[in-house]
Structure 1
């Protein structure tokens, strides 16, 4: 069967407020649950997007195998197989389950456990039935443990829009952040090294997949990357985590721009502007981090560190705002329900993802090739436009990489990304140099020793030459999609 659910993360105090106000129309059913998760020592199930657990509630034990897209964020649909079992040893005699495990059954062992106190309700909203589960507890792996406080909204019948309406009601009672980690993923992360900045990873795509489905999968992966880095920033003011949070928002905005021909609804422009707002809230902190790395004097570095503290405090305030939390729920709903395709050209939506990607990549390549033909003599604004176009092209090349998976295509893709990276690096350095004077002036640091070193004319002359050479290499690098 399939499950469709939305997950939200709460604070302990927030969960207490929710239980006190109880907006779900009835008293909760309360159960103590213990779940044991199984995998091989090499995590073979996890690598294939599978999770296997046995959950005990009272005297009942239910074994569940789930197969889903690990790139999904917040709201997702996935296959699952359940059956009662007598003990804490998996029973794997179902032929479909055996096929999914692909011979790993003899190597399975318990890896970690989840202990929770579950409060559950069944909520009726029009034609929709929603199962609500508030889980308070911990994840235990070897000698480590981590607290767990989340609420899951699972659609049992009716429209999935009811999930998001109920999520907004919860967020009005207590701050609720979009959840992107399953309990299984929490356990694996606890077994691994300490988590920091999370970079983008390839999203599973196939050439037979429609353009609309490919967009939804990539967009969900961008949301997940953002939320993981946002969470990491809650632990420490790490420059890499902030950079990757900003990158994830830029990737999502670029994806929406790249795929805008698929959209035909009134919410697209609003969501695009809100994503632009949230990304801009990270801009000052990122720019200051870049200048700190290049600062040549102790005085400038010290003053920039002070400014950095204020900038990161502003980022934290933005992340904790109801505007940012609502945006995550709104975008997840928009991606998941796909109302954007109701009035659009159905033939375009059902176009193969590979054909759609090739057309997109052709258009972006021509824009970068033509726009960067005279970088040395162009003004800063023109170079900035080329930089934005190059960024979109690189993101598109990364988004659609799995669609070009022959040996020759993979080799050409690596060379193309190397050429794009070199061009982007030089254009980025030129942009940092162009924006540094205004940034320093805004921080009242223009006259501090070492400030002018951030945008010297000699450095710019060399960067312009290097950027022009990188553009020549880019133009002469074979396109992997053709």
Structure 2
């Protein structure tokens, strides 16, 4: 089966999309005419989002590409004409497992210079529900027949190389300024990973995919923690403002994520309660309350991602990774720099845990435990960039601190849940509904908090053994 396809690829003037392994195109001809946005996923796979054919870039695709375009206006940069031959790979029962497409491509630059090129490429796309391991088998079979994997993920990324044109990019000073094997190299490797994660998660959050808000919020926290813990490597005059903006973004995402956690917790409590103890329209009231709060929180997330402030943050992060503001200590070996950063956070955690344990149960202690939880997160995140250079001691300490964080996190979730239950009980009372079940659930959450407070000294003792600190130093 053959089809002629005409595609115009859109990108920013400096090819930010292709630089981020994404592709936006307007295709005519073939079975899937329309707009296509391809986004990278794990490994060599990519996700494709489509929109109906129109004369201008659809707003939905423009938004999904924003974390990579960073506000640059997409315009036509390359046009390709492809003659496609398609074959199906089937099993013994005739079920289609994959589609093999052989494209003979002609490309022309639309960036101003008249330049053309042509090549042939083969694309393999799994059928829906097919085993991903099949791709490896197909890859091996093609290699045995002299067909190697392409070095470019899309026609757009290959075209400038074939045509011989290139677009200007933000100067990347890292190769000249970052000393191999230095603390800066280790820290920046981790920063790169978190920035890429944030960029990759943006489209998923906009589309409301499960778990995406949580992962993006955690990414913000990891980045903030790294920039704070390793101020000896990256100049804080540059990183402190970025940390503040990451805090803002995490806070905007937090409303939606916190509501998810709270609803899951309270809904689980109600489902686990014996039916004879559920008095009144408890489930219905919880659902109505959740719909209202979720809608507001969702809008808050989307407003943040559409704001100029978020766009400025994306550009700041791009500059940070390409032109890192290195300090005098950035060229030092990673072990001493990283040990010092981790122990500083660890000592702060120890002080906060000790302070919280000295207080009597109540709101003051709840607040102190919450501060200890934040310190535990920062300490744990500080160990992550150091695992390559410090090895098992950093990993072991991070694991023990994570256990402390988990206990403190469950305690804080109980504090938040009790506050919500109190407001739900008041609303039920005002409507003339029984308050028994809400009081029962409140008591359960109170018991959880007390249990975590009793558990904390044991978990902290395990995380504060002298051997952990000694192994890290040596």
Q: In 2 relative to 1, CA 388–29 (structure 1 residues): closer, same or farther, beyond 3 Å? A: closer
Matched with 1:230 is 202
Q: In 2 relative to 1, CA 363–299 (structure 1 residues): closer, same or farther, beyond 3 Å? A: same
Q: How does 1:11-26 map to 2 (within 5 A)?
A: 12=35, 15=57
Say yes or no: does 1:58 pair with 2:117: no
Instruction: Name the larger-Rg structure.
Output: 2
How many residues are paired up?
A: 335
Matched with 2:288 is 303
The DSSP-based 3-state class of the residue aligned with 2:354 is coil
Q: In 2 relative to 1, CA 115–85 (structure 1 residues): closer, same or farther, beyond 3 Å? A: closer
Aligned counterpart for 2:374 among listed residues 375, 378, 388: 388
Aligned counterpart for 1:254 among listed residues 201, 220, 225: 225
Say yes or no: does 1:465 pair with 2:454: yes
Matched with 2:468 is 478
Q: Provide the C-alpha distance between the structure 1 equivalents of 2:156 and 2:212, rounded to a whole number of angstroms.
A: 32
Tell me how large the CA RMSD over aligned residues is: 4.5
The DSSP-based 3-state class of the residue aligned with 2:166 is strand
Q: Provide the C-alpha distance between the structure 2 equivalents of 1:216 and 1:255, rounded to a whole number of angstroms.
A: 10
- Report deviation, 1:16: 7.7
Aligned counterpart for 1:359 among listed residues 329, 340, 344: 340
Q: In 2 relative to 1, CA 87–241 (structure 1 residues): closer, same or farther, beyond 3 Å? A: closer
- Report deviation, 1:440: 6.5
Matched with 1:422 is 403
Cα deviations across residues 374-412 of structure 1 (Å, max 9, x unaligned)? Answer: 54443223222221111111111222112234xxx3xx5
| Higher deviation after alignment, 429-438 or 319-328 | 429-438
Q: In 2 relative to 1, CA 422–86 (structure 1 residues): closer, same or farther, beyond 3 Å? A: closer
**In the alignment, is the contact (CA less than 8 A) between 1:285 and 1:308 conserved in 2?**
yes
The DSSP-based 3-state class of the residue aligned with 2:468 is coil
Return 5+ residue gaps in structure 1 as ranges.
36-53, 61-83, 90-103, 123-129, 133-153, 162-205
Return 5+ residue gaps in structure 2 as ranges.
1-13, 26-34, 36-53, 63-71, 85-101, 109-116, 123-141, 271-282, 360-364, 429-434
Matched with 2:274 is none
Q: Provide the C-alpha distance between the structure 2 equivalents of 1:275 and 1:213, rounded to a whole number of angstroms.
A: 22
- Report deviation, 1:268: 2.8
Q: Provide the C-alpha distance between the structure 2 equivalents of 1:286 and 1:472, rounded to a whole number of angstroms.
A: 31
**In the alignment, is the contact (CA less than 8 A) between 2:106 and 2:118 conserved in 1?**
no
**In the alignment, is the contact (CA less than 8 A) between 1:440 and 1:451 conserved in 2?**
yes
Q: Provide the C-alpha distance between the structure 1 equivalents of 2:179 and 2:146, rounded to a whole number of angstroms.
A: 33
Q: In 2 relative to 1, CA 413–210 (structure 1 residues): closer, same or farther, beyond 3 Å? A: closer
**In the alignment, is the contact (CA less than 8 A) between 2:187 and 2:385 conserved in 1?**
no
Matched with 2:308 is 322
- Report deviation, 1:215: 2.2
Higher helix share: 2
**In the alignment, is the contact (CA less than 8 A) between 1:28 and 1:121 conserved in 2?**
no
Say yes or no: does 1:373 pair with 2:354: yes
Q: How does 1:70-469 map to 2 (within 5 A)?
A: 116=155, 131-132=166-167, 154-155=168-169, 159=171, 209-238=181-210, 240-264=211-235, 266-295=237-266, 296-297=269-270, 298-299=283-284, 301-306=286-291, 307-338=293-324, 340-341=325-326, 344-345=327-328, 348-373=329-354, 375-378=356-359, 379-405=365-391, 409=392, 412-413=393-394, 415-436=396-417, 447-448=427-428, 453=441, 456-469=445-458
| Higher deviation after alignment, 206-215 or 389-398 | 206-215
**In the alignment, is the contact (CA less than 8 A) between 1:387 and 1:424 conserved in 2?**
yes
Higher relative contact order (Cα pairs below 8 Å, separated by 6+ residues): 1
